[in-house]
């Protein structure tokens, strides 16, 4: 297949073959970011990767964390902490990589675990540590703040999709997990079978036909869009041989929940189908996997 241009390598499978695909493109601070479908694994990724200055603008606490997470008290954090606790002893050390404003750190502490956090934005990390009463540092400070084999588990909650090189990041962090420890990952499956995804993609194609040159305004925070198979491929490439202890696909109806009658109906159908398997595919737009690192 001919490339539209010389796109960057796929961050999931490292192939060099792709075409622009849904959701096509967005503009942020006078730069266009294309969405490219890999010709090998069919995952979708953003090209080009935002530079450091753009990342800082995207993820500064006041622009990203405060609007979305400052007053967030979702029970999902307690559920994630309780699930991890099923596989860990009392007081186990858990790193939340991408801790944001510390909601999960607080839940981990309530569950009887010992939390630590790291976040891209230094101000968010400081806030998270103060909120949860634990150690939380920026990504830039991480390597000098923690020693290898410091944690019984590392948790990635809605993080991998934000990373320009998720496979490499996972590989770099595995040495910080003790032998026999856990890798916990949860996040969106934005290309997985779901009525919300199919509806959004159909309307996206229609808009593309009617306005082929239109580029919407947005923020390229999700640098990859995957289904369940592609997500497992990413994990297996980063850490082959992990023992899967838990794998669940669910549905939240996002972003159609609360979006009016039509979108609300599509979201309700998606939620009703979430986690159900048909013809070898499982419906849902979120996953949570817990894996055990090989012991000595």
Domain that holds residue 205: 18-63+192-225
Write out the DSSP string of 150-175: -EEEEEEES-GGG-SSHHHHHHHHGG
Give domain status of residue 288, yes or no.
no
Per the DSSP assignment, residues forming a β-bridge with 226 are: none
Q: What letter would DSSP give residue 176?
A: G
What integer pLDDT is reported at residue 258 of this predicted model? 85
What integer pLDDT is reported at residue 59 of this predicted model? 84
What integer pLDDT is reported at residue 1 of this predicted model? 38
| Phi then psi dihedrals of residue 287, to 5 deg | -140, 160
Mean pLDDT by groups of 10 residues along the chain of 296 residues: 72 92 94 96 96 88 66 78 97 96 95 96 93 95 95 97 95 96 97 96 94 91 96 95 96 91 95 93 96 88
Per the DSSP assignment, residues forming a β-bridge with 282 are: 277
Rounded CA separation 84/65 (Å): 24
Count of beta carbons in the 10 Å neighbourhood of residue 132: 24
What integer pLDDT is reported at residue 114 of this predicted model? 98
Give domain status of residue 109, yes or no.
no
Measuring CA to CA, how many Å separate 129 from each of 60, 94, 106, 136? 16, 14, 9, 5
The token pair that represents 1 in the structure block: 């297949």
Give domain status of residue 244, yes or no.
no
Give domain status of residue 30, yes or no.
yes
Give domain status of residue 212, yes or no.
yes
Give domain status of residue 77, yes or no.
no
Rounded CA separation 57/64 (Å): 9
Q: pLDDT for 141-166, tens place per residue?
A: 999 999 999 999 999 999 999 999 99
Judging by beta carbons within 10 Å of its beta carbon (0-12, 13-18, 19+), is residue 62 exposed, middle or buried? exposed
pLDDT > 90: what percent of the chain? 83
Number of structural domains (the chain) is: 1
Give domain status of residue 196, yes or no.
yes
Q: pLDDT for 77-103, tens place per residue?
A: 999 999 999 999 999 999 999 999 999
Q: pLDDT for 188-218, tens place per residue?
A: 999 999 999 999 999 999 999 999 998 989 9
Give domain status of residue 68, yes or no.
no
């Amino acid at each position: 297949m001919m490339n539209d241009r010389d796109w960057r390598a796929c961050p999931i499978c490292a192939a060099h073959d792709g075409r622009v695909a849904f959701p096509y493109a967005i503009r942020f601070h006078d730069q266009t970011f294309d969405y490219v479908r890999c010709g090998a694994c069919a995952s979708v990724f953003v090209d080009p990767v935002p530079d450091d200055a753009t990342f800082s603008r995207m993820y500064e606490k006041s622009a990203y964390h405060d609007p979305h997470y400052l007053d967030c008290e979702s029970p999902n954090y307690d559920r994630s902490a309780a699930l991890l606790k099923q596989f860990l002893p009392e007081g186990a050390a858990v790193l939340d990589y991408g801790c944001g404003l510390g909601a999960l750190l607080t839940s981990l502490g309530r569950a009887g675990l010992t939390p630590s956090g790291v976040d891209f934005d230094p101000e968010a990390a400081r806030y998270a540590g103060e909120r949860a009463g634990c150690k939380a540092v920026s990504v830039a400070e991480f390597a000098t703040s923690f020693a290898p084999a410091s944690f019984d588990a590392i948790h990635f909650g809605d993080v991998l999709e934000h990373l320009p090189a998720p496979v490499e990041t996972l590989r770099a962090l595995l040495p910080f997990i003790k032998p026999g420890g856990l890798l916990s990952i949860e996040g969106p499956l934005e290309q997985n079978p779901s009525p919300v995804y199919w509806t959004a993609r159909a309307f996206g194609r229609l808009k593309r036909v009617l306005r082929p040159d239109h580029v919407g305004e947005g923020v390229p925070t999700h640098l990859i869009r995957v289904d369940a198979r592609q997500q497992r491929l990413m994990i297996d490439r980063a850490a082959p041989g992990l023992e899967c202890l838990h794998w669940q696909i669910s549905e939240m109806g996002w972003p159609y929940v609360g979006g009016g009658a039509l979108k609300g109906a599509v979201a309700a159908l998606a939620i009703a189908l979430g986690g159900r398997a048909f013809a070898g595919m499982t419906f849902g737009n979120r996953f949570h996997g817990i894996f055990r690192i090989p012991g000595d």
